[in-house]
Structure 1
Amino acid sequence: MVRIATRLLCLAAALAANLSVVPAAQAASSRIKDIASIEGVRQNQLVGYGIVVGLNGTGDTLNNSPFTKQSGTAMLERLGVNIRGANMRTANMAAVIVTANLPPFSAQGTRIDITVSSLGDAKSLQGGTLLATPLLGADGEVYAVAQGSVAISGFSAEGDAAKITRGVPTVGRVAGGALIEREIEYALKAQKTIRLALRNPDFTTARRMAAAINDFMGADTAEPVDPSTVTIQPPPNYRGNMVQLITEIEQLRVDPDQGARVVIDERSGIIVMGKDVRVSTVAVAQGNLTVTVTEQPAVSQPAPLSQGQTVVVPRTGVSVTTGEGNKLALVKEGVTLRELVDGLNALGIGPRDLIAILQAIKASGALQADIEVM
């Protein structure tokens, strides 16, 4: 009986310990890999100017796009065809700008995707082929060469009296269309320190990240330098093996923290509120002022044999609705995000008026959050 009781007590203690760990594990919901990046390990933008040929009469108008004509002439001369002084009237080629992102640690000979965008007045790049185009980095060096058939997601069709366009037919992509010719060297193995850059800078998140790394390493190897940077001094057993260290650090979980913020896009009427948005007790009223103007013109005809003229007499009707039935709505202090949204929705207003109300609450000092207007 004593052994059974002892085993039951041990089982209960283990169950209690597991239950106490579950909330902490659930709270730490984000990996360091998802909220921070390694300084120096990044993409690089490439850009180039090229020519797309093979278009079915939807290319640039050479009279309106002189750069396309010059590029076509220079290209043919390099191929041994001299057309200097000739009048080119083709509509099957278009000048384009080619862009791509060079991933970190990309090896010479590998392929990357490219985006092709029309530069002139071409109507569509459908069916076109991009000729060999050097892609340059910010330093002016060639890092890749692009070529291939352009695939577009939109289309355009027109007749004598109608035209339809879906998507953007003047922008396309070439999957694996660029071949890397030059590598960007980065000696990761020789780095003496690792710097983690937070994608959303925050003091609390940086401190939690450093604490999680130190707990895992068992020593004070990580230190938050500022809200966006955490530096790591690799332990002796990881020096010369940065890949293993980064792999293990990236899998650690941290509960990120952010300040209360309301993001507003006035052009589209989009409103996004963070979970920590709070308001003090405030009363809100919203009155809609609607002015309706209607035109009902009447025709006035002259009497028979009066030699008068038929005229149109304008008749305008104007009505005004003020929405006086709207009353004050009380928003209590310290409400949650759901209660705040329910209270504002109870006013029965649209996103445009809601933006004005949030800005007015902020101006009154009752909104404990930052408003960011996009």
Structure 2
Amino acid sequence: MARQMLRRLTLVLALIVAAMPLPASAERVRDLGQFQSVRSNQLTGYGIVVGLDGSGDDNFAYLTQAMRGVSGRLGLQLPPGVNPALKNAAAVIITADLPAFAKPGQRIDVTVSTMGKAKSLRGGALIMTPLYGADGQVYAMAQGNLAVGGLGVSGKDGSKLTVNVPTVGRIADGASVEQAVVSNFDFSEVLRWNLFNADFLTMTRVRDAINAVYPGMARIEDGVTLALAMPPGADTRAELMANIEMLSVEPAERAARVVINSRTGTIVISSAVRLAPAAISHGSLVVRIDEDPLVVQPEPFSRGQTALEPSSTISASQQGSVVTGIGPGASLAEVVDALNALGASPADLVAILEGLKQAGSLTAELVII
């Protein structure tokens, strides 16, 4: 008897839990934005890759000038007017990201890309090159052997075969940090936190979540920035920042937006897109022109010449003429089903969505990139 009562009680509890509404999905603060002073910095530099198997820049003027500078630093002076014709070297641009709080002696990855006529960087080695920040200061030194994922070969008859991109390479841990970027996160009066995508409702919820744990700490400056009043000191602030980043916040629903890539025909529709009542008619007009020229032969012994007599056939057809209705407040799934029923291609969908926007039926922002 007791076992039966226990089973019934367990079943009732399971039904109650199943009937309860599921909590809304929440995200961590660290996934919604980042602190203003904690960011990476871009570095760039100009250098030379040597050791190529005849796939270099040859008579590229910038490469010749750079090689004269490199040889001069090594004590080798090239005579004036002598062109080294370096087919085994290539002029390159080096790019890298300097992480926040990177200290001298730490290693970072670099990407090396050709800037001249070099066909491939496979097997090359980068000569020591300084990497500069936006302020013109040297923050790292790059050097090392390149890892190239592409392959390019050519034949004497002009035929070529290229796999991936052989003119771009990468050096893992290829640069050594020489100077740290000064950060004021530990002594500034106010530490700012920036939202990735501007939204006042999400910003308000982040402020409330922080103030619920640390009363009066956070205040909103605009739709992106949140000002945090924190005590000075790196140790104290690091602990507070870690705790704030792990707070859970339910972000606002994403804005209704339709993004169209006009180059590839890719269309992305957010879940908040709704349509007012509308009717769509879509059809494609296909015009076909066939050329079938006739060969006309002259009579025997007439001294005439063989000629081609043009013969063209033109036909036109209307395909896919369908009218589809969309009810009020149609959801994303209903919009997709209606457009699929028309049999529209990605290029046709662009025209349909633009027409719905102009008619006032599409309640979403239309972004064409």
TM-score calculated relative to the size of structure 2 = 0.91
Does the 8 A contact of 1:238 with 1:245 survive in 2?
no
Preserved CA contact (<8 Å) 1:73 1:84: no
1:252 to 231, 247, 253: 247
Does 2:132 match 1:133? no
CA distance in 1, matches of 2:256, 2:220: 22
Query: How much does 1:18 deviate?
Result: 11
Distance of 1:30 and 1:118 partners within structure 2? 41
Distance 1:247 1:38, change over 3 A: same
The match for 2:352 is 357
1:274 equivalent to 2:270? Answer: yes
Is 1:232 matched up with 2:228? yes
Residues 55 and 342 of structure 1: is their aligned pair in 2 closer, same or farther, counting only changes over 3 Å?
A: same
**Paired residue for 1:23?**
22
Unaligned regions of 5+ residues in structure 1, if any? none
Which of the numbers 146, 157, 161 marks the counterpart of 1:164? 161
SS in 1 for 2:357: helix
The secondary structure found in structure 1 opposite 2:353 is: helix
Which of 176, 179, 196 is the aligned partner of 2:176?
Answer: 179
**Other-structure match for 2:326:** 331
- DSSP 3-state at the match of 2:221: strand
1:220 Cα deviation after fit: 3.3
Counterpart position of 2:361:
366
Kept after mapping to 1: 8 A contact 2:186/2:232: no
- Structure 2 counterparts to residues 38-117 of structure 1, below 5 A: 38-62=35-59, 65-85=60-80, 86-117=82-113
Q: CA deviation at 1:328?
A: 1.4
TM-score (norm 1): 0.90
**Residue number in structure 2 paired with 1:345:** 340
Query: Does the CA-based 8 Å contact 2:218-2:228 persist in structure 1?
Result: yes
Contact 1:190 1:240 survives alignment (8 Å): no
Q: CA RMSD in A?
A: 2.5
Once the two structures are TM-superposed, the CA of residue 238 in structure 1 deviates from its matched residue by 9.4
Q: Secondary structure at the match of 1:288?
A: strand
Q: CA deviation at 1:350?
A: 0.5
Cα distance in 2, alignment partners of residues 73 and 233 from structure 1: 55
Determine the structure 2 residue equivalent to 1:261: 257
Match of 1:289 in 2: 285
The change in CA–CA distance for 1:188 and 1:17 in structure 2 (over 3 A counts) is farther
Deviations along 1:15-59, one digit per CA (max 9) or x if unpaired, are 979986x733xx133211111010111111111110100000000
Taking the aligned partners of 1:240 and 1:77, their CA distance within structure 2 comes to 48
> Does structure 1 retain, via aligned residues, the 8 Å contact 2:131–2:142?
yes
The alignment partner of 2:142 has SS state of strand
Structure 2 segments unaligned to the other structure (5+ residues): none
How far apart in 2 are the matches of 1:16 and 1:248?
34
Percent identity, please: 41
Structure 1 residue 77: deviation in Å? 2.0
